Amino acid sequence: MERRDFIRVCAATAIALQGGKAAADARPRSYARSLLADEGGRALRASQLAVGENYVFHYPFEGTPCFLLNLGKPTGRNVPLKTETGETYEWPGGVGPRAAIVAYSAICSHQLTYPTRQISFISYRDRSTASRISKPNMIHCCSEHSEYDPAAGARVLGGPAPQPLCAILLEYDAAGDTLTATGTLGGEMFNTFFSKYEMRLALEHGSTARAQQRVAAKTVVTPLRQFCKQQVRC
């Protein structure tokens, strides 16, 4: 998210608070400012992100995976959305040179399926990878076929998911062509995720504490096809 967009979201939230609607608004949550980096630790160039490719990074915790996507064309802007508990929020839209880059928590809001190093049941499908079940240009979870529109704040378009994927707020620096994660917007499910997968996350990350450690100044972005041995298609 560009700084002015972030300020707009904060301003909208403040206005709603003044109007006595605090309970109905999901506020952006700030975490560490984390530069998106390549596997060599260098700043990732936004313009080098391939259109339609699934990229994975971890944010805001070491154990919570997110998708980074270049959708290839400008997304919707200021999309009104709602969490499972009825909190409203406005997803500001994509960032980057074409306002086409988006990031979401990769934890399905239905039963918390997520991409591991071994296997992924959830991913973005463009026209070349969609099937008769999964529509093109959507994030699809093969567990029970929830479908999310990444160009509209990961709004739920099908399946049992009760709310959009939690959005990761990004800032784009045009001078350096870099991306920085700054926080989340929408329905977080991190506590439930840590409880449900405590054992598995401890094995994957060395310990529970490590999985729940906050990501610091940098987070590494990896193509999903390298991150994960097997991508389930449905």
- Applying CB under 6 A, the residues found at the interface with ligand FES are 108, 110-111, 113, 141, 143-144, 146, 159-161
* Closer residue to ligand FES in complex, CB, 142/181: 142
* Nearest Cα to Cα of residue 69 among 11, 191, 134, 152: 152
* Closer residue to ligand FES in complex, CB, 162/206: 162
> Quick check: 170 and 180 in contact, CB under 8 A?
yes
Provide, rounded to whole angstroms, the least separation between the CB of residue 169 and ligand FES. Answer: 23
Provide, rounded to whole angstroms, the least separation between the CB of residue 11 and ligand FES. Answer: 34
Provide, rounded to whole angstroms, the least separation between the CB of residue 114 and ligand FES. Answer: 9
CA–CA separation, 147 and 124 (whole Å)? 9
Provide, rounded to whole angstroms, the least separation between the CB of residue 111 and ligand FES. Answer: 4
What is the distance, to the nearest Å, from the Cα of residue 6 to the centroid of all Cα atoms in its chain? Answer: 16
* Closer residue to ligand FES in complex, CB, 72/160: 160
* Closer residue to ligand FES in complex, CB, 38/144: 144
Provide, rounded to whole angstroms, the least separation between the CB of residue 218 and ligand FES. Answer: 29
Backbone angles phi, psi at 195, to 5 degrees: -70, -45
> Quick check: 170 and 179 in contact, CB under 8 A?
yes
* Closer residue to ligand FES in complex, CB, 84/144: 144
